[in-house]
Structure 1
Amino acid sequence: MIDIVLCASGSDEVRIVHDLAVDRDRPARVVRRCADLAETLAVTAAGIGDVVLIDVTVRGLGRDVLTSMMRDAAVVGMRPVDAPDTTALGLRHVVPAEASVQEILAAIESASVGEQEDAEAWVQEAAPDSPGPRGRVLAVWGPVGSPGRSTIAVNLAAEAAAAGRETVLVDADTYGPALSQMLGVLDEAPGIVAAARAHDRDTLDSDALDSLLPLVQPRLRLLSGIGVPGRWAELRRTALDGVWGALARRGELVIADVAAVLEEDEELSYDTAAPQRNAAAISALEAADAVLAVVSADPVSITRLLRDQARLEELGVQELHVVVNRIGSPVPGDRIRDLIASRLPVASLNLLPDDPVACRTAAWDGALLAESASRSALRRGLRDLADSPAVQGAPDAAVPEPARAGPERRTR
């Protein structure tokens, strides 16, 4: 006997319960009728029911909630007559709400038999990958401190766009979102939150995504951040995983500015419905084709990077490019290069000069370095970095030679 947890609208709920109760020989029974999504989640978490039969338009239902629900039971969706055919939220078993009880039972039996299969395939179902070219995803990260992650991310994206590459810049820093202000964008609507919600509700198509990506420079679009750190809980892991795929299909290059902290909360990790504080950074690093690790040219920042190596490996980071920022006296760049290269396996190592005046001027003007300090050594170093394999992608499997930037490069 298959135990069903039912969450449906009034008329459909009454009809299904009645039809199942009439014939006691049927292989399924309704063991709980839930009034809303919260009750449904509580019931399944308590281990009640083998299959959840739920209206896909119920308030609050999304991919993230379904991910939690499918850990405890199989799920069959019911689509109302007025809901579009695309409303399936990645579910493998969906029936029309007006379907006969025989059709509903067939879907329930199929879901019950394939419950383990459905759970294992849910990640791919929740983030389907469409055919066609895929852009390169680059996560700009760095250890705790202020090594200049956001400054490098925003100017690197601008240089890539100026070089002719369609670029999407994403503010995924949930501790100190700042890219809108750095670009002088007045409208700080949280685009990344809207994108995550749209993906969670299965409505993040190309038109919806384009509406969230204002053009801030020729060939450069921005997906703005959460605005204030307190909104971090609105970025759920499964929704973000799908957003990266959608962005990669949208542009040639995606550059994501992420926060430093990569730990997972052990207490919250047992509660699968709870948001994770560092979900945005972890999701971005796992989805990235390459990670650009930014450190300051000081022993504390470099040591923090070396200590974070194990965590980066846990997240599956294979292509790691290091940018040492704020190079200047008294320590020469070659000494720092040798120190990092001897202790950390990197695909490339780049040095950028210290130029506080140019950075302060750009910050107060809400401008790019290309606009406020176009002839500075820092701007030239970033332009060269934008042309490097770290951003462009290596043409083959060979590991590129470490690039030299800043004062050690010849000016153009």
Structure 2
Amino acid sequence: MGIPVVTVGRSGDALVDGLERLHGPVSVVRRCSELAELLAACQTGLARAAVVADGSEELTASLVDRLSAVGVAVVALADGPEESARLRGIGVTAEVPGVEPGALAAVIEDAVAQLATGLPPSFPRASDDHGAVPPAAGGRGRPPGRPGAEHPAPHAGQPVASGPGTGRIIAVWGPAGAPGRTLIAANMAAELAAEGRSVLLVDADSYGASVAAVLGLLDESAGLAQACRLADQGLLDCAALLKVAVPVATRTGTFRVLTGITRADRWTELRAAALALVYERAREAAEVTVIDTGFCLEADEELSFDSMAPRRNAATLRSLELADTVYAVGAADPVGVPRLVRGLAELEAAVPQASPRVVLNKVRSAAVGRSPERQLREAWARYGPAAPLEAFLPADPAACDAALLSGSLLVESAPDSPLRRAIAGLVCATVQRNRKSSVFSSTAMRGVKG
């Protein structure tokens, strides 16, 4: 089966001529003068691979993702190990400009096969004198940075494409109606930090980012947008990620925060491909990453835009796709519970692998009657989805108001709050059980061990 290829860059004309003379499965169907023309040609279905001979510095993770989404693998000729490392970090197969046509044809075949199958990258060929493994191009729903990839040791200030980290990602999601996503995510981060974990809190809500306000951060600078810009250019390493993340110190521990976008119209800065790279770096930089997501799961904005336009809900969907654990939060009242039931059905359709842990927040007798937990369990058994109820978080408006007023978290402003104890039990129960201590102990309530 033939592999049609489009190319860009006049300096690679000799190489392209050599590919055409091979008369093999790789055939050049169009030579483009600039990347915009190449992208347009690929979106018509003309090619299965793109060779960038000039202008590799203009390649970004978002552009590579757009090409991967239409089934086009990207191969670029790069001068020097720094540019090669940057390109590999955004899902491009990098080759040296002096590569022989036969070797380049083999690399193109490998890149196309990897994009089609999602297999890890093959080991480097003899022609790759940088000694690096060319990774598969990052496809939609499949972040760059595969297990088994090897990269040269980075130097200070150079682009870094390091291997996958071992940190875990927790996403906190809930339907429309303010069920308490941000409050729970922020306090989860504080409880994990109190456990001695290195924690990164990420505000990925593209509709109403509010983590900075909850934490009383006055100098909000859209840290997540900054990290996404660096990731899109292939320049985000752990040091750069930690530099744009704001440290937040509590009496029991310190964690870092990637604040959200400062205006709702900046949602285009949170593109899925760049966000996937941010989360890959987060796994390396922190033991636990807690994400406050948006509420909306609609994925068909393409119907009203060009099919390759950025999607507003991509930040939420990509966060849920890449999370190891998803907490689905709903308000425990006659409006919030039906919303959560419908939202869980939408979540299952949008992100089938999520397997959410369902949490009912703001539990109070005034909203559901006497013995609210029993009432909610019975109602859930009759009308709810198959997912069981994981936890009940009691309403504690006085403690929440005091925390918001002081710009602090429950672990500081209300360590004895029933809500604080419930959140600690939800996120730290496994760790506490391993340590043979209870999150409900008096020591825990004093905030020594959240």
> TM-score, normalized by length of structure 1?
0.82
Conserved in 1, the CA contact under 8 Å of 2:56 and 2:77?
no
Q: Could you tell me which residue of structure 1 aligns to residue 174 of structure 2? A: 142
Q: Could you tell me which residue of structure 2 aligns to residue 399 of structure 1? A: none
Say if 1:95 and 1:190 are closer, same or farther in 2 by CA, change over 3 A: same
Give a deviation string over 1:360-400, Cα, whole Å, max 9, x none. 222222121223233333223223333224xx5998xxxxx
CA distance, structure 2, for counterparts of residue 386 and residue 74 of structure 1: 41
Q: Could you tell me which residue of structure 1 aligns to residue 94 of structure 2? A: 94
Say if 1:294 and 1:2 are closer, same or farther in 2 by CA, change over 3 A: closer
Q: Could you tell me which residue of structure 2 aligns to residue 257 of structure 1? A: 292
Secondary structure of the corresponding residue to residue 85 of structure 2 = coil
**How many pairs were matched up?**
391
Kindly provide the amino acid, as one letter, of the partner of residue 79 in structure 1: A
Secondary structure of the corresponding residue to residue 284 of structure 2 = helix
Say if 1:362 and 1:59 are closer, same or farther in 2 by CA, change over 3 A: same
Secondary structure of the corresponding residue to residue 204 of structure 1 = coil
Q: Could you tell me which residue of structure 2 aligns to residue 338 of structure 1? A: 378
Conserved in 2, the CA contact under 8 Å of 1:76 and 1:91?
no
CA distance, structure 1, for counterparts of residue 143 and residue 359 of structure 2: 36
Greater mean alpha carbon deviation, residues 103-112 or residues 214-223: 103-112
Q: Could you tell me which residue of structure 1 aligns to residue 225 of structure 2? A: 193
1:210 equivalent to 2:242? Answer: yes
CA distance, structure 2, for counterparts of residue 82 and residue 250 of structure 1: 24
Pairs within 5 Å for 1:5-404: 5-8=6-9, 13-14=10-11, 16-17=12-13, 25-27=21-23, 32-49=30-47, 51-55=49-53, 57-58=55-56, 60-70=58-68, 71-81=70-80, 83-89=82-88, 90-91=90-91, 93-97=93-97, 99=98, 103-112=100-109, 115-121=112-118, 122=137, 123=139, 126-129=144-147, 134-217=166-249, 218-265=253-300, 267-268=302-303, 271-314=306-349, 315-330=351-366, 331=369, 332-341=372-381, 343-346=384-387, 349-389=390-430
CA distance, structure 1, for counterparts of residue 271 and residue 314 of structure 2: 7
Deviation at residue 73 of structure 1 after TM alignment: 3.8
CA distance, structure 1, for counterparts of residue 84 and residue 46 of structure 2: 30
Q: Which runs of 5+ in 1 are unaligned?
A: 396-402, 406-410
Say if 1:346 and 1:286 are closer, same or farther in 2 by CA, change over 3 A: same
Kindly provide the amino acid, as one letter, of the partner of residue 39 in structure 1: E
Deviation at residue 273 of structure 1 after TM alignment: 2.5
Secondary structure of the corresponding residue to residue 88 of structure 1 = helix
CA distance, structure 2, for counterparts of residue 262 and residue 37 of structure 1: 32
Q: What is the root-mean-square deviation of aligned Cα atoms in Å?
A: 3.4
Deviation at residue 232 of structure 1 after TM alignment: 1.1
Secondary structure of the corresponding residue to residue 299 of structure 1 = coil
Q: Which runs of 5+ in 2 are unaligned?
A: 119-136, 149-162
Percent identity for Structure 1 against Structure 2:
34
Say if 1:166 and 1:338 are closer, same or farther in 2 by CA, change over 3 A: farther
CA distance, structure 2, for counterparts of residue 2 and residue 327 of structure 1: 59
CA distance, structure 2, for counterparts of residue 20 and residue 141 of structure 1: 49
